[in-house]
Structure 1
């Protein structure tokens, strides 16, 4: 039997990814330097490269983590065991809540990344496009359930309404980086959803 090669990792890989994600989220991809990542993850250069490859690979791993967390949260908020309209209201209220305070001013990592890199980085483009498609699909499913329950307004098509809602929530994250208040954001979200339901 061959003994295992190298020393086993003595750090929590997922915790390191989360700390790196926070740095990328706060600074952006290009403005994040290797020393920033080493400081945040508390890893040596050798350990970081051995675990993740390079800065770009670590960034993609952090982006995957952000996407997985966002979609999991969406699945909880739009849980099909609850009434579809209640789920949609919970989802929008959750987005409004995430626009508050210091975290709200950071905005959405996916939107910031798309603005910075999507036109130049095929892997980032693929992830961002996939994330927005997954959001639309979940929203369209909830709207279809609302339609089946007789709660959708006449003439509202679930797929089109889902696309509008995705554009709205991501736009909300951008607008909320400025002076938007939670009350204004919630009122706007309610007004939009009220156009789609009866």
Structure 2
């Protein structure tokens, strides 16, 4: 009988990733130092390196977690069993909520990462681009279903409209850092969607 090698991990890896994600989200990649991560995860240096490799690997793991959570939320909003226009309105309302007031000031880990690292770090660039492509595809699918149901305005192409909507919500993430009023952002989101919907 073969005995297991080494001691089993005595901590919740996913909880540690989530705590690290919060640090990176608050401070940015370059603004986060190893002692910040050790404090947040409550791990020793040796345990952190054994579990995640290094700061960059832990950051990629945290970014993957953030992306997975965002895609799960989008999949719920665009559940094909629901009306696609309702899904689009829910999707936009969620971004309005996340980009208004104190929520908006926190910003978006993905957008902050794109601004800080995407032009310099190939792994980060690949992840960010993949997320935007996946998001755009889900929005386009909802718009295609709306078109099939006769709910899109004449001349609206789902792929182009999806690109516009993704650019809009990511722009909300940036302007959200100034904590805009929720009502103003919601009115803008409604006006944009009304350009596409009958």
Q: Structure 1 residues 38 and 101 mapped into 2: Cα distance closer, same or farther (>3 Å)?
A: farther
Query: Which stretch shifts more, 102-111 or 18-27?
Result: 102-111
Equivalents in 1 of 2:3, 2:100: separation in Å?
52
Equivalents in 2 of 1:24, 1:87: separation in Å?
30
Equivalents in 2 of 1:120, 1:179: separation in Å?
29
Which residue does the alignment assign to 1:137?
Answer: 137
| 1:4-58 deviation digits (Å, cap 9, x = unpaired) | 1111001000000000000000100000000000000000000000000000000
Per-residue deviation, 1:166: 0.3
SS of 2:80's equivalent in the other structure is coil
Matches within 5 A, 1:169-184: 169-184=169-184
Query: Which stretch shifts more, 10-19 or 103-112?
Result: 103-112
SS of 1:169's equivalent in the other structure is helix
Per-residue deviation, 1:176: 1.1
Which residue does the alignment assign to 1:81?
Answer: 81
Which residue does the alignment assign to 2:2?
Answer: 2
Q: Tell me the matched-pair count.
A: 198
Q: Structure 1 residues 179 and 103 mapped into 2: Cα distance closer, same or farther (>3 Å)?
A: closer
Which residue does the alignment assign to 2:196?
Answer: 196
Which residue does the alignment assign to 1:165?
Answer: 165
Matches within 5 A, 1:53-92: 53-92=53-92
Q: Structure 1 residues 91 and 119 mapped into 2: Cα distance closer, same or farther (>3 Å)?
A: same
Per-residue deviation, 1:101: 4.0
Q: Which runs of 5+ in 1 are unaligned?
A: none
CA RMSD of aligned residues (A): 0.8
Which residue does the alignment assign to 1:124?
Answer: 124
Please give the TM-score of this superposition, normalised by the length of structure 2.
Answer: 0.98
Please give the TM-score of this superposition, normalised by the length of structure 1.
Answer: 0.98
